[in-house]
Amino acid sequence: MSQEQIKFAYWVPNVSGGLVVSKIEQRTSWNIDYNRKLAQTAEKAGFEYALSQIRFTAGYGAEFQHESVAISHALLAATDKLRVIAAILPGPWNPVVLAKQIATIDHLTNGRVAVNIVSGWFRGEFQAIGEPWLEHDERYRRSEEFIEVLKGIWTTDNFSYQGDFYRIHNYSLKPKPLQQAPHPEIFQGGSSRAARDMASRVSDWYFTNGNTVEGIQAQVDDIRAKAAANGHSVKVGVNAFIIARDTEEEARAVLAEIIEKADPEAVNAFGHEVKQAGKASPEGEGNWAKSTFEDLVQYNDGFKTNLIGTPQQIAERIVALKAVGVDLILSGFLHFQEEVAYFGDKVLPLVRELERELEAEPVPLKLAA
Ligand SMILES: Cc1cc2nc3c(=O)[nH]c(=O)nc-3n(C[C@H](O)[C@H](O)[C@H](O)COP(=O)(O)O)c2cc1C
């Protein structure tokens, strides 16, 4: 188990409609004032990262969307320590433009920006913006080239690259990003075979949808073994929709209400679209390949991680995830502002306490189921 403290990120609500596809009340907003205040609250609460989303058109709702790089910069400008991860879709983005854009933001924000390279699942969106749609594994082949180019430009002068998707000739980016150890962090979203193989070669971080501890462990073991064989190391972040309440009954009642008020039309439409993701991979695995209707109500399978209950139960489950090799919890909340603050007050101190206990006495903890 890592000696480092487990890290916390939250989903930036830069698209409208909240993180669950349900008519339940969600006290959240996609507007910039709300997002600035949320970033400041999260920073104070002990969150290290914020992850923006990239969306060009409505999908599971998400009718309005702020662009990810621009909003990431705004949140960095409103905070002091928080690291903000901008979501990027190869295709619409060109890696040279992105390398330059992120290098500048890195200088403007004292080296706190990162990127999440997502390979896409939403064919209708690509069509809407006139972007050619590649088959599943081809999308990852392009993403891998994209990351190689990004790293090359960020770290070397006179960089050249001859790929199937990108060609660069003797290019020197000036200035390079401020972060030179070795460059701004590169996250990736996606967990099919192709996604894992890419992570085991080039990404700094592998982000996966929500899952059980066993499901996550299988992915961690697989990806770390492959990365070791490639002489690469990769950290792992897991999505979770967190419902922390003073009693377990209250938390379970909130989940039941979310599901009961789910918008079946929107959930089923989303379930149809995501067949372009994991299920469309040659092995038929990856994100959403086995998701049920209930899972899809949180559009990154966040209920499956089961961080739903009392602060103590949630803290114990987080430490159980750490014990199987998870480095970061990517969290979503119903009433964002107030629940991020509650998490910082009630859950995070318990996680740190359990981590200290484990470090002092590394015997298996009795963990909540
Ligand atoms: C943490 C995380 C964040 C993601 N963010 C976005 C996003 O902002 N926009 C987007 O179109 N897809 C996003 N995705 C989806 C990925 O691009 C990818 O299509 C999906 O995870 C399916 O991957 P798979 O086919 O490898 O299983 C995200 C995925 C994860 C796990």
Percent of the chain with pLDDT over 90: 83
pLDDT for 366 equals: 54
Nearest to 27 by CA among 348, 356, 343, 334: 334
State if residue 65 touches ligand 1 by the CB under 6 angstroms criterion. no
Question: Taking each helix axis from N to C terminus, what angle separates 95-108 and 136-155, rounded to the nearest 10 degrees?
Answer: 50
User: Hey, whose CA ends up nearest to atom 11 of ligand 1?
Assistant: 120
The model's confidence at residue 369, banded by pLDDT at 50, 70 and 90, is very low
Q: What are residue 189's DSSP bridge partners?
A: 118, 207
Atom of ligand 1 nearest to the CA of 119: 17
The answer to pTM > 0.85 is yes
State if residue 118 touches ligand 1 by the CB under 6 angstroms criterion. yes
**Is the confidence at residue 8, as pLDDT, over 60?**
yes
Tens of pLDDT, residues 54-109: 999 988 788 999 999 999 999 999 999 999 999 999 999 999 999 999 999 999 99
Give the whole-angstrom CA distance, residue 291 versus residue 279: 10
State if residue 191 touches ligand 1 by the CB under 6 angstroms criterion. yes
Which conformational region is residue 118 in: left (phi greater than 0), alpha (psi within -120 to 50 degrees), or beta?
Answer: beta
**Cα 117 to ligand 1 centroid, rounded to whole Å:** 8
pLDDT for 360 equals: 87
Strands 159-162 and 167-171: antiparallel
| DSSP designation for 243 | E
Atom of ligand 1 nearest to the CA of 286: 27
**Cα 90 to ligand 1 centroid, rounded to whole Å:** 12
Q: Which of 274, 287, 295 to mutate to test the pocket of ligand 1 (most atoms within 8 A of CB)?
A: 287
pLDDT for 277 equals: 74
Name the phi and psi angles at 283, rounded to 5.
-90, -10
Give the whole-angstrom CA distance, residue 180 versus residue 155: 8
State if residue 286 touches ligand 1 by the CB under 6 angstroms criterion. yes
Give the whole-angstrom CA distance, residue 202 versus residue 231: 10
Mean pLDDT of the chain: 94
pLDDT for 293 equals: 87
**Cα 367 to ligand 1 centroid, rounded to whole Å:** 30
Tens of pLDDT, residues 275-319: 777 777 787 777 777 788 888 889 889 999 999 999 999 999 999
The region of weakest confidence among 5-9, 59-63, 328-332 is 59-63
**Cα 118 to ligand 1 centroid, rounded to whole Å:** 5
Tens of pLDDT, residues 223-239: 999 999 999 999 999 99
User: Hey, whose CA ends up nearest to atom 30 of ligand 1?
Assistant: 189
| DSSP designation for 183 | S
State if residue 302 touches ligand 1 by the CB under 6 angstroms criterion. no
pLDDT for 367 equals: 53
**Is the confidence at residue 255, as pLDDT, over 70?**
yes
Atom of ligand 1 nearest to the CA of 87: 8
**Cα 316 to ligand 1 centroid, rounded to whole Å:** 27
